[in-house]
């Protein structure tokens, strides 16, 4: 009974933050998704009727020849065309063989892999292949095979998000890979796909999914030279830009990997409209500029995209297309800016970049997710990533799967991040694969910059544990100067609680105990570093009862890819309020 009450409460806390229209859309879309299974003929007739006016004008769908989409500029990211022709598809780093006849269902493959199979973006490998006639023939063969093997409206191939990506891929590939017969077939496909998607807009989810839907429908409007549809879907796009692109340039889902996807989508749409002779709306141009500046500022020193919240590593080729100057310089972000102490605070998206001498911190000081879209949230309030001389030192555990289960739960948990865990609970109530109930709320404290001492500090607080006995709050202050990083954690409230301060080491780092705390080191520079609890700073004898712990866990480095990595934690059980001071300093190897 108690478990049922807990589950019911969690569910209510999850749906309470959704907009009413989202709940209505979810019911509608589930009913519509069931129709092709129970009423296949009626479903097909509805889509055919909606597609017929689009096809009535005659001719083939075409994009302007001058438009080069983002996917066409990624090159080596795609599987080799010869492997695809042999039925070997390497997607998300995992290779599977379709067999003969081709098994497009791949029922034993993870769902995300099947989604990628039906995106058809991998077919850019054929468009970029030098043997054009061979590539066209193989593309045609695979297209016919796919048609024979899939059922309209059913299965992963017809998820609205997947349909959106396939529309965009086929629109882009049609000009370079289709002869007249295939162009006619693809034109019909695109009209039917567009009709299906118009009925299945993901207004229940919103976010990057809805943007992908709009992008696909605007792409079809240009391909069929439909001025009214172009105007309609451009208006939809601008409404979503206002909702999703925050004033500071971040994306509303607060996941840098998805920020890159959305920026690529907006770049594509601006390029397509411009190539079609349409005026690119000022709002679209301004959003792209803000998003590009935000991405440039939060990039890691080595030019990679930080993995906070959900997301898989963004390929360097993609970063190079989004930020061309990064590809040219192949060096630390903004190399023309003078080194020194400084802070960039993105208060809308909830990230802060602090730098002092060789130290660089990316701090998570915002909401875990928008209220109406918890899918990619982690319970990571007041976590941070750390680099020293451009080398990663502290990282999040990362994301290796979206499948529900123990791994997904562990990677979203507070314990997977460099922050404070109270009583082994999560600061945000993440559950399932993409849900979150109770959410932590973050408020900012003072920001101080002592120029004379070359010292910088940032304070923030979250209330994600306030539901517990004693109503704990977590307040954290980062203080940096060129010699060290000091992290002060104050857990306010009352009652007796267990407190863990966690530090996840980047790949290649090891840890060992020493008399002052913990030494972390690796075989190559930089390092070693000493991680200590500073008793003299607060003179709280209870802290002396705590202990350092070291263990090996896993670090996600891609989809279904994990490697061993070391975690260090300081653990103490005491009455609240409690204050912990942890300092990280570089030490001479002779001192170790």
Mean pLDDT of the region 158-185: 94
Does residue 404 sit within a domain? yes
For residue 539, the model assigns a pLDDT of 54
Residue 340 or residue 557, greater confidence: 557
Residues 443 and 584 in one domain: yes
Name the domain boundary from 187, 212, 244.
Answer: 244
State whether 376 and 483 are in the same domain: yes
The rounded distance, in Å, linking the Cα atoms of 234 and 242 is 13
H-helix or E-strand spanning residue 44: helix 40-55
Confirm if 480 and 341 have CB atoms less than 8 A apart: yes
Domain check: are 358 and 238 in the same one? Answer: no
**Mean pLDDT value across residues 361-365:** 97
Question: How many domains are there within the chain?
Answer: 2
For residue 462, count CB atoms less than 10 angstroms from its CB and return exposed for 0-12, middle for 13-18, buried for 19 or more: buried
Do 349 and 217 share a structural domain?
no
What does the pLDDT look like over 186-232, one tens digit per residue? Answer: 999 999 999 999 999 999 999 999 999 999 999 999 999 999 999 99
pLDDT tens, residue by residue, 454-490:
899 999 999 999 999 999 999 999 999 999 999 999 9
The CATH number given to whatever domain includes residue 82 is 1.50.10.100
Asked if residue 543 and residue 429 are part of one domain, the reply reads yes
Angle made by CA atoms 379, 306, 414, in degrees to the nearest 5: 15
Report if residue 10 sits inside a domain.
no
Is residue 324 domain-resident?
Answer: no
Domain boundary among 244, 261, 290: 244
**Average pLDDT, stretch 261-277?**
98
pLDDT of residue 328: 45
Residues 240 and 342 in one domain: no
pLDDT of residue 31 exceeding 90: no
**In-domain check, residue 308:** no
The yes-or-no verdict on residue 39 having pLDDT over 90 is no
pLDDT at 591: 59
Residue 422 lies in a domain: yes
Q: For residue 338, give Cα distances in angstroms to 335, 342, 356.
A: 8, 10, 12
Among 261-275, 357-371, 446-460, the range scoring the smallest mean pLDDT is 446-460
Which alpha helices (DSSP H) does 202-255 contain, by range? 207-223, 227-244
Q: Whole-model pTM?
A: 0.93
Say what the pLDDT of residue 19 is. Answer: 86
347 and 234 in a single domain? The answer is no
Question: Containing domain of residue 418, as a range?
Answer: 338-591
Phi/psi for 88 (5° steps) reads -100, 110
Q: Is 587 left (phi over 0), alpha (psi -120 to 50) or beta?
A: beta
Q: What is the CATH number of the domain that holds 350?
A: 2.70.98.70
pLDDT of the residue at 336:
36
20 versus 166: the higher-pLDDT residue is 166
Q: Give me Rg for the CA atoms of the chain.
A: 26
Among 209, 244, 279, the domain-final residue is 244
- Asked if 500 and 514 count as a contact pair (C-beta separation under 8 A), the reply is no
Q: Is pLDDT of 590 > 60?
A: no
Quote the pLDDT of residue 27: 86
Overall average pLDDT of the 158-171 stretch: 98
What's residue 533's pLDDT? 76
Q: Are residues 234 and 369 in the same domain?
A: no
pLDDT tens sequence across 318-327: 999 999 876 5
Residue 53 within any structural domain of the chain? yes
Are 418 and 520 contained in the same domain? Answer: yes
Considering the domain boundaries, does residue 348 fall inside one? Answer: yes
pLDDT per position as a tens digit, 271-295: 999 999 999 999 999 999 999 999 9
Same domain, 238 and 368: no
């Amino acid at each position: 009974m108690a478990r049922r009450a807990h589950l019911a409460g969690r569910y209510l806390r999850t749906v309470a933050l959704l907009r009413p229209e989202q709940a209505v859309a979810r019911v509608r879309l589930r009913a519509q998704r069931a129709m092709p299974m129970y009423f296949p003929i009626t479903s097909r007739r509805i889509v055919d009727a909606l597609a017929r006016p689009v096809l009535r004008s005659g001719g083939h769908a075409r994009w302007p020849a001058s438009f080069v989409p983002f996917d066409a500029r990624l090159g080596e990211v795609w599987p080799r065309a010869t492997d695809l022709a042999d039925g070997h598809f390497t997607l998300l780093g995992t290779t599977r063989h379709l067999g003969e006849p081709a098994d497009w269902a791949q029922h034993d493959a993870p769902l995300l892999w099947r989604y990628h199979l039906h995106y058809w973006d991998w077919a850019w490998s054929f468009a970029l292949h030098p043997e054009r006639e061979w590539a066209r023939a193989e593309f045609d063969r695979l297209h016919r095979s796919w048609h024979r093997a899939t059922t309209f409206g059913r299965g992963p191939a017809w998820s609205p998000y997947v349909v959106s990506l396939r529309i965009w891929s086929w629109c882009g590939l049609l000009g370079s890979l289709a002869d007249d017969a295939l162009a006619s077939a693809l034109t019909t496909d695109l009209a039917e796909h567009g009709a299906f998607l118009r009925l299945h807009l993901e207004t229940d989810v919103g976010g990057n999914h809805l943007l992908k839907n709009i992008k696909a429908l605007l792409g079809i409007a240009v391909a069929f030279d439909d001025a009214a549809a172009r105007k309609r879907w451009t208006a939809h796009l601008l409404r979503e830009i206002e909702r999703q692109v925050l004033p500071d340039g971040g994306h509303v889902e607060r996941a840098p990997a998805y920020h890159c996807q959305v920026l690529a989508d907006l770049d594509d749409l601006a390029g397509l409209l411009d190539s079609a002779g349409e005026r690119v709306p000022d709002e679209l141009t301004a959003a792209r500029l803000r998003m590009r500046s935000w991405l440039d500022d939060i990039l890691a020193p080595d030019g990679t995209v930080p993995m906070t919240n959900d997301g898989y590593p963004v390929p360097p080729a993609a970063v190079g297309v989004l930020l061309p100057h990064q590809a040219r310089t192949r060096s630390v972000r903004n190399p023309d800016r003078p080194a020194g102490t400084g802070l960039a605070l993105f208060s809308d998206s909830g990230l802060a970049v602090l730098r002092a001498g060789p130290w660089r911190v990316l701090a998570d000081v915002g909401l875990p997710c928008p209220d109406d879209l918890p899918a990619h949230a982690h319970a990571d309030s007041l976590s941070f990533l750390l680099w020293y001389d451009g080398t990663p030192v502290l990282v999040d555990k990362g994301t290796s799967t979206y499948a529900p289960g123990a791994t997904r739960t562990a990677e979203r948990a507070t314990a997977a991040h460099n922050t404070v865990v109270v009583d082994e609970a999560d600061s945000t109530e993440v559950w399932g694969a993409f849900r979150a109930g109770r959410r932590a709320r973050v408020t900012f404290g003072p920001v101080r910059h002592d120029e004379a001492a070359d010292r910088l500090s940032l304070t923030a607080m979250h209330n994600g544990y306030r539901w517990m006995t004693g109503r704990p709050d977590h307040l954290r202050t980062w203080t940096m100067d060129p010699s060290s990083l000091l992290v002060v954690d104050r857990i306010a409230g009352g009652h007796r609680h267990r407190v863990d301060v966690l530090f996840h080491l980047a790949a290649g780092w090891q840890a060992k105990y020493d008399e002052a705390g913990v030494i972390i080191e690796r075989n190559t520079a930089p390092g070693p570093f000493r991680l200590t609890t500073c008793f003299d700073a607060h003179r709280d004898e209870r802290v002396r009862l705590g202990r350092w712990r070291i263990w090996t866990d896993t670090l996600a480095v891609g989809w279904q890819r994990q490697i061993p990595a070391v975690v260090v934690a300081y653990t103490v059980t005491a009455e609240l309020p409690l204050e912990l001071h942890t300092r990280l300093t570089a030490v001479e190897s002779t001192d170790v």
